């Protein structure tokens, strides 16, 4: 049992935190968002993540064979959805102004 300690001569702590709970919102590779998940229920995928593995929210650049030598003119995009089985990535391209 936790004792109450005097904060000053007129006030005492009248509460004690006995339990905390954490919930997380998670965005899956396919873009779907799950809310209020128990973090202990989520397990990391143990695999080799390479240069061709992408995740939602990741910035990417469009590169062609001609673009390898020049840095200007490349399009910047934001990964929205990933289908790892089909190896398809949906990207929202950011237009230049």
- Domains in the chain: boundaries: 24-94
29 vs 71 pLDDT, higher one: 29
Structure confidence at residue 35 as a pLDDT band (50, 70, 90) = very high
CA 12 to CA 2: how far, in whole Å? 13
Helix (H, G, I), strand (E, B) or coil at 71: coil
Return the SS3 of 34: strand
* pLDDT tier, 68 (very low <50, low <70, confident <90, very high otherwise): low
Q: Is the pTM of this model over 0.85?
A: no
Q: What's the CA gap between 27 and 58, in Å, rounded?
A: 12
Instruction: Compute the distance between CA of residue 25 and CA of residue 37 in angstroms, rounded to an integer.
Output: 6
* Local confidence band at 28 (pLDDT 50, 70, 90 cut-offs): confident
Is 75 within 8 Å of 62 (Cβ atoms)? yes
């Amino acid at each position: 049992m936790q004792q109450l300690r005097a904060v000053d001569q007129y006030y005492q702590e009248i509460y004690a935190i006995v339990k905390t709970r954490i919930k997380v919102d998670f965005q899956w590779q396919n873009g779907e968002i799950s809310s209020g998940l128990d973090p202990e229920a989520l397990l990391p995928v143990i695999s080799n993540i390479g240069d061709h593995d992408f995740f939602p929210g990741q910035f990417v650049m469009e590169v062609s064979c001609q673009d390898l030598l020049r840095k200007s003119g490349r399009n910047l995009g934001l990964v929205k959805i990933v289908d790892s089985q089909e190896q398809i990535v949906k990207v929202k391209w950011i237009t230049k102004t």
